[in-house]
Chain A
Amino acid sequence: MNDLKTYNDQVHIYGRIWMLTAFVLMILVPTAIGLRYSSWPSLTVVLKGLLGVAPIFWTVAVIEILTFTPMLGTGGSYLGFVTGNLTNLKVPCALYAMENAGVSQGTMEGELVSTMAIAVSSLVTTLIIALGVFLMVPLTPLLNSEALKPAFDNILPALFGGLMVVYVGRNWKIALVPFVVMIILFISIEALAHAVSLMVPVGAALAIAAARILYRKGFLGGEK
Chain B
Amino acid sequence: MAFSLNSGFLYLVAGVVILFVLAQSSFFLRRALLQARKIGMDRRVIGSTIRSSAVFTVAPALAILLGVLSLSKFLGLPLPWLRLSILGALTYELTAAASAASSFGIAVTDPVNDPAAFTAIVWVMTLGIIPGTILIPLFLKKIQKGLVTLKNRDQVWGEHLMTALFLGMISAFSGMVFSKVTTGLQGWIPVFVLLFSALVMGLCGLAIKRGRAKWLTDYALPVSILSGMAFSVFITRVIG
Contacts and interface: CB of A to CB of B under 8 A. Distances in A.
B148 interface: yes
A38 B126 contact: no
Contact of B68 (A91, A122, A133, A166): A133
Contacts of B202: 165, 169
B52 to A, nearest CB: 6
Nearest to B114: A39
A121 B144 contact: no
B107 interface: no
Given A83-B25, A101-B48, A175-B171, A69 B140 contact: yes
B35 A7 contact: yes
B120 A23 contact: no
Contacts of A84: 84-89, 129
Nearest to B223: A162
A28 to B, nearest CB: 9
A199 B240 CA distance: 29
Nearest to B84: A129
Contact of B45 (A23, A50, A101): A101
Given A41-B123, A81-B87, A158 B232 contact: yes
A64 B173 contact: no
| Most chain B CB atoms below 10 A, which of A140, A204, A223 | A204
A26 to B, nearest CB: 5
A82 B171 contact: no
A122 B21 contact: yes
B136 A25 contact: no
B109 interface: no
B131 A128 contact: no
A8 B144 contact: yes
B130 A26 contact: yes
A29 B147 CA distance: 36
A23 B134 contact: yes
A39 B177 contact: no
A101 to B, nearest CB: 5
Contacts of A20: 133, 137
Contacts of A12: 140-141
Interface residues of A, number: 157
A87 B173 contact: yes
Given A112-B41, A123-B25, A128-B62, A165 B198 contact: yes
B182 A187 contact: yes
A128 B11 CA distance: 17
Interface residues of B, number: 154
B7 to A, nearest CB: 9
A46 B100 contact: yes
A81 B240 CA distance: 37
A115 B28 contact: yes
A210 B168 CA distance: 11
Contact of B46 (A116, A155, A210): A116
Contacts of A126: 18, 21-22, 25, 85
B199 to A, nearest CB: 8
A24 B175 CA distance: 38
Interface in A171-199: 171, 174-175, 178-179, 181-183, 185-187, 190, 192-193, 196, 199
Contacts of B161: 208, 211
A159 B58 CA distance: 12
A203 B134 contact: no
B33 A154 contact: no
Interface in A15-55: 15-16, 18-23, 25-27, 29-30, 32-34, 36-41, 45-46, 48-54
Contact of A129 (B85, B117, B130): B85
Given A29-B13, A171-B167, A183 B175 contact: yes
Nearest to B128: A53
A155 B224 contact: no
Given A119-B28, A157-B191, A207-B165, 14 more contacts: A11-B31, A40-B119, A50-B100, A52-B98, A65-B132, A82-B133, A96-B56, A133-B81, A140-B69, A158-B224, A164-B194, A174-B160, A178-B167, A185-B175
16 contacts: A14-B31, A50-B127, A61-B132, A65-B140, A69-B136, A106-B148, A112-B41, A115-B32, A133-B77, A151-B232, A162-B201, A162-B225, A168-B167, A171-B163, A174-B163, A186-B178
